[in-house]
A and B are shown apart, each in its own frame.
Chain A
Amino acid sequence: MRTGRLSIRHTLMLAIGALALLIVVLIARETWKSWQRLADMRALEATSRASDDLFTAAEMLAAERGIAFSILHAPDEETAARLRPGLRLSAGRSDEALRAALAAAASRGRGDLAAPIARAEARAAVVRALRAEIDRAALAPRHGRDPALAERWFHEITALVQDTEDVWMGLEQRFAGVDPVQSLHMRFKHVLRVVAEYIGRERALVGRLIVESAAPTPEEQSQLLRWHGKVELGWYLGKTLVDQSGLGPSIAAALEDARSHHATLYDMVRGVLYRPGARPQAPYPIGVEFWLEIADQAAEALYALREAALEETRRHVADLAAQARRDIVADGVVLLCALVLCGYTFRVIARRVLGPIEEMVEALVRASEGKAGRATPASRVHADEIEKLAQVLHAFQRGAEETKRTADMLERHAAALERSNRELDEFAYIASHDLKEPLRGMHNHSRFLLEDNQGKLDADSVKRLGRVIYLSERMERLVNDLLYFSRLGRQELAVQRTDLNAVIRDIERTLEATLGEHHARITVPKALPAVTCDAPRITEVFRNLIANAIKYNDKPEKVVEVGFQAARARGNGDPARDVFYVKDNGVGIPPEFHEEVFRIFKRLQRSQHGKEEGTGVGLTFVKKIVERHGGRIWVESEPGHGAVFCFTLRGEHDDVHSGAAA
């Protein structure tokens, strides 16, 4: 692993980790929302209960108001005394309900409810003080009562009902946006409270009229009509809310019952009490207790309706809470599944993909460094892609080992060959060097013999001695060639940047006489590149090839072309790069001799001048020099169509354009 860059393994691990984190965050956010909703629902449930307590308190106060109102207008002490226990009971109930409701509201509300609660409590204290006065007045004869007390009482207790309403409104507002259905329930309950309040007022005034056996004044009649109008409107709104908003069938049925009972109650008294001009002189056919009782019975229908609404609210809130709980559980399950899946994916990628790949890579690296080790991971149970990859790698590794063994063997053979060649070179050097001395002696002695015995020897002996001298001279040339050849194999190349165009020009100058004599010319169609080489040796290569091109040429006009090709297809079809060539229009070479021409002391034919020149080592030297430069040489030719000698330097794929192509 290069420093500063993550491996695939770490990148994948990080990506999976980030993905897992992302999933956890997303689901956790949903869960948190559900949790908040559940908390809202719980608060809503508690608030709804507090609001119902306020409702109860308002009803209790309304009932107490009616009874006390009747007592204060009772015509005799007897009637008042009969009503007193009911009033005490009612007062106790309303006190208790109000205390509970305000406590519940205070616990549910925040600072904003403190003021209305304090107001209601202050008013409750006023009402309690009035109760004591009413109690005293109930015992007194009618003429002994304070006539303003009833009005004060009615005013104060109605104001207290209003205060509870304000507290209720404050509570409701806080939850208006939590749930639309719940808001609807709250609105419906508000309507019910209004209906209950005006029914309570009607009941109190009718009770007073009954207890006094009095006809209503026109003002009282219009008041009764106004209140009744609000009740009717309340029923209408309530029914509209139920019908249009689907508050639930139980509420619809209870609403119809309550409305029926109150309509029936109203039918009983409206003819006499709600119509202008009715002035009954005689007492009413029912007493005030009877009236309060039937009014209470009708109020029961209202309680039942309120209970149905409360039940519906509780059910709805419970449903919402249950839904929120289900959401939390579902989110939890999804979260858990996602985490398990992430963990599993993590494990699979780490153990079944990255681990084996890392093992394989490490083994391959070890193998490439020549250390022992198998790329195949330990025995695996999964027949998956990684297993197949391991098998393939295993097969490759076996092949690579085979190749390496072969390469090792080849290397050993090449080294042996090199050693053998070197020994041969050394042998040739030693042999030729050692041969030179006796040869020189043979030559000298033959000459001395010929010179010393001039005139004494017959012609045949002179001829034979001349032959010995010639042969020993020839032998010396051969030995010199061998020496030179062995030196070519042993001496280091003196490489330097060389301009081949200069080399060719130099050769042209050297061979100037020969060229002129043989009507030959050298052409270089394109400038040759500069190369790094041993200049004298490469000069020798070109000179040899050019000399051969002139020598083995039967054309009257001999043309030798020297050139360079970046790419050239060899005669056998293989491509070769950076090829130098020397082309002639000479006699050509039959294909079967294309290899032979490079063998030492091998001459295929006499030159075109009939003279036997040289020892047949030129091309052998050329080949040796090219090979010492890491190149190869070959000939492309057909008899009668000239020959092209091609060679490369420093191997086919090395760049010979290291200098600018002039």
Chain B
Amino acid sequence: MALLSGLGPPRRKARGVLAVALASLLHAGSPGSGRAGESLQMMEQKIKAGLLYNFLKYTEWPRATAASAVAVCVFGDDPFRGSLEPMAERTVNRRPITLRHVREVPRTEGCHLVFVNAAERDRWPELAAFLAGKSVLTVSDFPEFVSAGGMIELGQKGDRIDVKVNMAALASAGLQVQERLLRLAHVVDAGGP
């Protein structure tokens, strides 16, 4: 019953490593252990942050923009309160992810994905104009983002997250998303930016 009793060979090594892994796991959970869990709101932000990974995974950028790393940019203040930070240590489609916090529009140059803080809604047209013709996946959680020419909107439907995808905007930026991603979302036809 190797499966239930532990992790197969090498077993002697496994026991020690298991202890290390559990210790690290508990350590990772320790910041929250002082208070009684998180709010569901925080969970929502974390799910949104996590979904960015799925977007990166199922989006295909044109070859010309293919770099060794995938750059994720947060435009404006960080709405995820640092929960996006671990992303910088991970890889997607065998490429490392880099994380940038951007406040100026021109600094979005070189980003593969730009998450627009809802607070920056007013500067979106300026940003959209700058990004026009560039293969940059735009994501935001302010309402009517896709209507304003954004590509993926992390909206709200009832109590739950609702993902909207603007196929026209994606197409005009030369981006392709895989069918798998669309299973999470519903497609809106809002036209380009």
Contact = CB atoms under 8 A, between A and B. Distances in A.
Contacts of A284: 40, 43, 159-160
B3 A197 contact: yes
Interface string A198-238: 00000000000000000000000000010011101110110
A279 B40 contact: no
Given A232-B21, A277-B37, A187 B94 contact: no
Contact of B160 (A193, A234, A257, A285): A285
Contacts of A275: 29, 32-33, 37-38
A322 interface: no
A430 interface: no
A611 to B, nearest CB: 134
Given A229-B25, A267-B46, A274-B29, A283 B37 contact: no
B36 A278 contact: yes
Nearest to A282: B40
Given A190-B9, A267-B49, A229 B18 contact: yes
Interface stretch (B50-58, B118-126, B166-174): B50-58
Interface in B13-39: 13-14, 17-18, 20-22, 24-25, 29, 32-33, 35-39
A165 B3 contact: yes
A261 interface: yes
A272 interface: yes
Nearest to B181: A297
Interface string A276-300: 1111101111110010011001001
B33 to A, nearest CB: 6
Given A285-B161, A287-B160, A279 B90 contact: no
A263 B90 contact: yes
B40 A237 contact: no
A209 B126 CA distance: 43
Contact of A267 (B24, B83, B97, B161): B83
B159 A282 contact: yes
A115 to B, nearest CB: 15
A233 B40 contact: no
Contacts of B65: none
B1 A162 contact: yes
A256 interface: yes
Nearest to B163: A290
Nearest to B156: A285
Contact of A165 (B2, B14, B83): B2
B86 interface: yes
B7 A264 contact: no
Contacts of B183: 293
B94 A257 contact: yes
A367 interface: no
A263 B3 CA distance: 22
A254 interface: yes
A194 interface: yes
Interface residues on B, range: 35 or more
A278 B83 CA distance: 18
Nearest to A272: B43
B53 A264 contact: yes
Contacts of A272: 37-38, 40, 42-43
A118 interface: no
Contact of A260 (B24, B39, B40, B90): B90
B17 A233 contact: yes
Contacts of A225: 25
A269 B32 CA distance: 13
Contact of B7 (A228, A234, A254): A234
Nearest to A234: B7
Nearest to B58: A297
A297 B8 contact: no
Contacts of A111: none
Contacts of A283: 159-160
A555 B108 CA distance: 152
B37 to A, nearest CB: 2
| Chief secondary structure at chain B's binding surface | helix
Given A270-B29, A282-B159, A294-B51, A263 B42 contact: no
Contacts of B105: none
Interface in A467-502: none
Given A264-B90, A271-B42, A193 B3 contact: yes
A191 B9 CA distance: 8
A285 B25 contact: no
B150 to A, nearest CB: 20
A169 B35 CA distance: 45
B69 interface: no
Contact of A253 (B24, B36, B40, B94): B94
B24 A271 contact: no
A277 B29 contact: no
A342 interface: no
A283 B38 CA distance: 14
A264 B50 contact: yes
Contacts of A253: 91, 94
A530 to B, nearest CB: 102
A1 interface: no
Interface in B86-120: 86-87, 90-94, 97
A267 B91 CA distance: 15
Q: Top 6 nearest A-B pairs by Cβ distance? A: A278-B37, A260-B90, A277-B36, A271-B38, A268-B50, A285-B44
10 contacts: A229-B18, A230-B6, A232-B22, A268-B47, A278-B37, A284-B160, A293-B183, A294-B184, A300-B180, A301-B57
Given A253-B94, A267-B49, A276-B33, 18 more contacts: A190-B9, A191-B8, A225-B25, A228-B25, A257-B92, A263-B90, A267-B50, A267-B83, A268-B47, A271-B42, A272-B42, A274-B29, A275-B29, A275-B32, A282-B40, A285-B44, A293-B184, A297-B57
Interface of A: 161-162, 165, 169, 187, 190-191, 193-194, 197, 225, 228-230, 232-234, 236-237, 240, 253-254, 256-257, 259-261, 263-265, 267-272, 274-280, 282-287, 290, 293-294, 297, 300-301
